Homo-oligomer: A and B are copies of this chain.
Amino acid sequence: MNEILHRVGVIAPQKDVYAALTTIDGLAGWWTEDTTGDPDGVLEFRFATAGGDGFDMKVLETSPELVRWEVVGGPEEWIGTEVSFELSQVDEFTIVLFKQAGWREPVEFMYHCSTKWATFLMSLKQYVETGKGEPAPNDVLVSNWH
């Protein structure tokens, strides 16, 4: 199994980062504006740059220290992977340990998703710190795959 890992530190209280990961408005502020669904059920993230495709995430756990989702809809490579955000406070930073676990093969798409997750986590940091992130459709472009 292969994992995408990232770590960012957000200069904000942990509860603010938690809200950005567990509410529709929060998620729409840094990942994709087209976020709908049930924060306690299945969340639906859509991306215009991907022709309207996106990801459906079943919320497995939401505690102040850990948010976990299972991918139940989206590209074949993503189905069954688990996305998690582990939160802790260190000085003025809320540390976010991000993981997408369960990639079956380290395909080129995984390389791409790793870089995109990094830019979206920097968008999360910016959103919580300043009120304005860079969610899709105005996300940072990293390559020909957007």
Contacts and interface: CB of A to CB of B under 8 A. Distances in A.
B114 A142 contact: no
Interface in A73-116: 90-91, 93, 95, 97-99, 106, 108, 110-112, 114-115
Give the copy number: 2
Question: What is the size category of the interface that chain A forms with chain B?
Answer: 20 to 34
Given A2-B3, A3-B2, A108-B97, A9 B119 contact: no
A121 B95 CA distance: 22
A125 B115 CA distance: 12
Given A3-B2, A122-B119, A144 B93 contact: yes
A106 B8 contact: no
In order of increasing CB-CB distance, the 6 nearest A-B pairs are: A9-B143, A118-B118, A7-B111, A5-B111, A7-B112, A6-B115
Interface of A: 2-9, 90-91, 93, 95, 97-99, 106, 108, 110-112, 114-115, 118-119, 121-122, 125, 140, 142-145
